[in-house]
Amino acid sequence: MDMFPQGHRTTFGFRAPLTAIGKKMLILYAAIYVVELICEHWLAIPVYRWLALWPIGSGGFHLWQLITHPLLHDPGAPIGFLINCLVFYFFAGTIESSLGTRRFITLYAVAAYGGALIGLLFGLLTAFGAPFAGMLPSLLTLIVVFGLLRPEAIVLLMFVLPVKAKYISYGTVIVTLLTFLAKANVHGAFHLGGILCGFLYFRPSGPWWNINYWRWKYFESKQKRRRSRFTVIDGKSSDDDTPPTIH
């Protein structure tokens, strides 16, 4: 739960409820997970092994896994899946209302698939990795973006401890990075990659990511080239009425 300052007062509660798109996404995740549990635990069909994203060169990697892996979750961790859904429920509505539906979905997808590509690349370079699935790269990105959108909002951490959203955002990045460096999180490259790609999409750092900046630089250099073709000679002649010569 969060609270947003209004003047000198502080209010509790999420400002934007889950939208229709958000509800459909949660329903889709839940339906897929139920089917996954039935297949894995009751029908002995290894859908997780087929559809999760395996490291390249592991023998289990297939191209379709790039598309399917964000929709799956560990069939042995239903509590983790429920926590993921809870995080989505709390943060998705506010971010979608701020960015708009199209940009929200794009942000979510950029974090998921950008994190996947970075995780696969890291696995190729280090031979460190494991099959990956789930929406956690996108969820971590939503938490970070929420802290950028509402930095002074107060989030009740564990529903008890009031913490400003910007500190939750920083803490999310720091904890993810430290657990990755300590090799306590085998999927840390996917998570950090998702956060990085989502951040770059949401808030480019500096003018170098702005296409208008490069258009202006091109126009500016073009004008300089044109001016360099002309030379102004400020010479004096015996006749004071003779104007300067321009070549």
C-alpha span between 234 and 230 (Å, rounded): 13
Give the pLDDT of residue 3: 40
Ranges of each domain in the chain? 2-202
Give the pLDDT of residue 4: 39
Each as own residue / partner, the long-range contacts of residues 208-211 (CB below 8 Å, 24 or more positions apart, any chain) are none
Give me the mean pLDDT over the 160-189 stretch: 93
Q: Residue 193 has which token pair?
A: 């990659």
Please tell me the pTM assigned to this model.
0.78
Closest to 150 (Cα-Cα) out of 19, 25, 6: 6
Phi, psi (deg, nearest 5) at residue 127: 55, 30
pLDDT tens, position by position, 46-61: 999 999 999 998 889 9
Give the pLDDT of residue 12: 43
Write the DSSP string, 121-179.
HHHHHH-----B-SSHHHHHHHHHHHHHHSTT-EEEETTTEEEEHHHHHHHHHHHHHHH
Say which residues have a Cβ less than 8 Å from residue 25's Cβ, sequence separation at least 6: 88, 92
Say which residues have a Cβ less than 8 Å from residue 48's Cβ, sequence separation at least 6: 36, 40, 72, 74, 75, 131, 133
Give me the mean pLDDT over the 8-21 stretch: 63
C-alpha span between 85 and 175 (Å, rounded): 20
25, 27, 211, 247 from 222: Cα distances, Å: 49, 54, 17, 19
pLDDT tens, position by position, 106-142: 999 999 999 999 999 999 988 777 899 999 999 999 9
Half-sphere exposure (Cβ direction) of 237: Cα atoms closer than 13 Å: 8
Each as own residue / partner, the long-range contacts of residues 41-47 (CB below 8 Å, 24 or more positions apart, any chain) are 41/75, 47/72
Higher per-residue pLDDT: 229 or 245: 229
Query: 2-202 has which fold?
Result: Rhomboid-like fold (1.20.1540)
CA 64 to chain centre: 22
